[in-house]
Amino acid sequence: MSSASKPLIVQSDRTLLLDVHAKGAEDVRAAILPFAELEKSPEHIHTYRISPLSLWNAASAGLTPADVVKTLNAYSRYEVPEGITGGFADTMARYGRIRLRAEPPGQSAEAGATAAGAAPGTEKLLLVTEDSAVEKEIAAARTLGNYLTKTEGGFVLKLTDRGTVKQELIKLGWPVEDEAPLREGAALEIGLRDRCVSGQPFILRDYQAEAARSVLGNGGPGTGFGVVVLPCGSGKTIVGMTVMALLKTSTLILSANVAAVHQWIDELLDKTTLTRDQIAEYSGDSKAVAPVTIATYQILTWRPAKGGDFPHFTLFRTHPWGLIIYDEVHLLPAPVFRVTAELQAVRRLGLTATLVREDGAEDAMFSLVGPKRYDVPWKDLERKGWIAEAFCVEVRLDLPGKLKIPYAVAGRREKYRIAAENPRKEEAALELIANHPLDHILVIGQYISQLESIARLLKAPLVTGKTPNAERERIYGAFKKGDLKVMVVSKVANFALDLPDASMAVQISGSFGSRQEEAQRLGRILRPKENKNSYFYTIVSRATVEEDFAANRQKFLAEQGYRYSIQHWTEGKAEAVKESR
């Protein structure tokens, strides 16, 4: 391959540009994903970025700086800029400079640090480094003073402080290589079926099997935990079930809401050898525990008084779990981060469609759940037919005249709400729905009063967070069976809503500029449908702050490779497409 035809361009700001039309682009993508984060994947040039976190991910997978440099030199169209490769080595060298391992029996007793009543070597770990300067930095860090006790050969810490120490060290720029052993947990016989209970053949897709293997690795130190990033509709739940079948151990699954709990139960019964008595629901409705228990984040973070204890955290500590699955791990609440810090001896799997956290806590996921082990561009799966092709359209409407003065004098937050609840959106939504008589349609919004109004106009059911679970399940069931073609949903549609036949979404309002929300809402319609595309419409008030927030949300779609058009509507009638992106 001549240099001019090579697919990769390496830039001095550590971005990598991949020409997806060049020969060998797929091989190059696979080669750089272990050490570079995908940022944008539009039609022609995909952008990756090499960051400290991505290099630490690579180091945790066993790659060396020489491996990274060799890959870049092999595939770069132009000479790799001077200076950046040395920086790779410096950054990757930080991973493994500090190691965490089981404390040798008796050492804690000699240091006077054994917890009362604990057998030496069973309740303590040892943090070690061979670099004296790093050792002094650790000793001087005030944030670590309450967790570490200096001893011969390193620092002793409680088993339950394992995650907290790792989290504090990564904030200081020191990712810890965690070599301490993992607990096996209670044994559980579980396998995947060849044929679903529903009668359909069950075939594990190649990327699902690869994702599961990437987390478990060779079973040695530093494996058995990590995050898998796959688009909504691509079968992340199946990746989780595959890991369960490989480990054959008692499993705790944490999910976004009760609907997600029931979906996990249905999938486990349909595609694994588990029986109903081996699976339990732990939520606001039920507090049962079984070898496989599915709980909601909401119940785990409930407490009777602000500032008090979280009584349901005992679920983590009093059962012999061998695996914890964090579904929609990008939603992991801060209190669950706290208890996850204690659970570093348990194998952990995070599942998500996007690692974007609006609070910027990606490094916390790295430390507490594990490094990213697997990722694949959305459009790659679309091209292979594993997720549906989606057409994204932004419809822009003017505010009615009577709202223009109230909008002009309102504060910024109130401006957003006025624009989001533009009454003309109802007319536009009805017209869009009328234009798609064969589609199964979700109307999604942020504000309950707005959703109630449009549900009345459509004579369609409305599902919100306050809808009783039994009623919610009944509505979902009618939609799945085809008895219901249109459903109005609030933020409950942002995650864990499994409606395979949904082929169109009309978004009438959202949470400001949340990219995370955009990914989840688009994901609701990405399940592949035979001979049918999917449509994602967003209705926006023209010349308002809502346009600015929509631009941020739509930027996410462009970065995932989705083209979208912008249409200007007047009095509910579509004009010619003015812009497209």
Give the model confidence (pLDDT) of 130-186 as tens digits.
999 999 999 999 999 999 999 888 999 887 788 889 889 988 999 988 887 788 899
Query: Can you give the pLDDT at residue 217?
Result: 83
pLDDT value, residue 492: 77
**DSSP symbol at 509:** -
Q: Please state the domain extents for the chain.
A: 3-94, 98-178, 206-376, 382-580
Class for the domain spanning 382-580: alpha beta
pLDDT at 561: 66
> Is the full-model pTM beyond 0.75?
no
Higher-pLDDT residue of 133, 307: 133
Average pLDDT over residues 325-347: 77
Q: Give me the sheet containing 98-102, strands edge to edge.
A: 149-151, 154-158, 124-129, 98-102, 177-178
User: Can you give the pLDDT at residue 120?
Assistant: 35
pLDDT tops 60 at residue 577: no
Residue pair 257/495 in contact (Cβ under 8 Å)? The answer is yes
**pLDDT for the residue numbered 169:** 92
At residue 234 the predicted structure's pLDDT band, cuts being 50, 70 and 90, is confident
Task: Say yes or no to pLDDT of 223 above 90.
Answer: no
Give the pLDDT of residue 311: 81
CATH class of 206-376: alpha beta
| Mean pLDDT of the residues in the chain | 84
Condensed to tens digits (0 to 9), the pLDDT of residues 118-135 reads 333 346 889 999 999 999
pLDDT, residue 269, reads 96
Q: Are 507 and 521 in contact (CB under 8 A)?
A: yes
Out of 56-65, 397-406, 532-541, least confident range: 56-65
Mean pLDDT of 331-350: 77
Specify whether the CB–CB gap between 176 and 100 falls below 8 A: yes
Q: Residue with structure tokens 């809502």? A: 546
Average the pLDDT over 29-35 and give the result.
85
Confidence at residue 513, expressed as pLDDT on a 0 to 100 scale: 52
**Pairing of β 441-444 and β 504-507:** parallel
At 515, the pLDDT band (50, 70, 90 cuts) reads: low
Under the banding of pLDDT at 50, 70 and 90, the label for residue 46 is confident
Q: Do 206-376 and 382-580 fold alike per CATH? A: yes
Closest CA to 285 of 271, 274, 299: 299
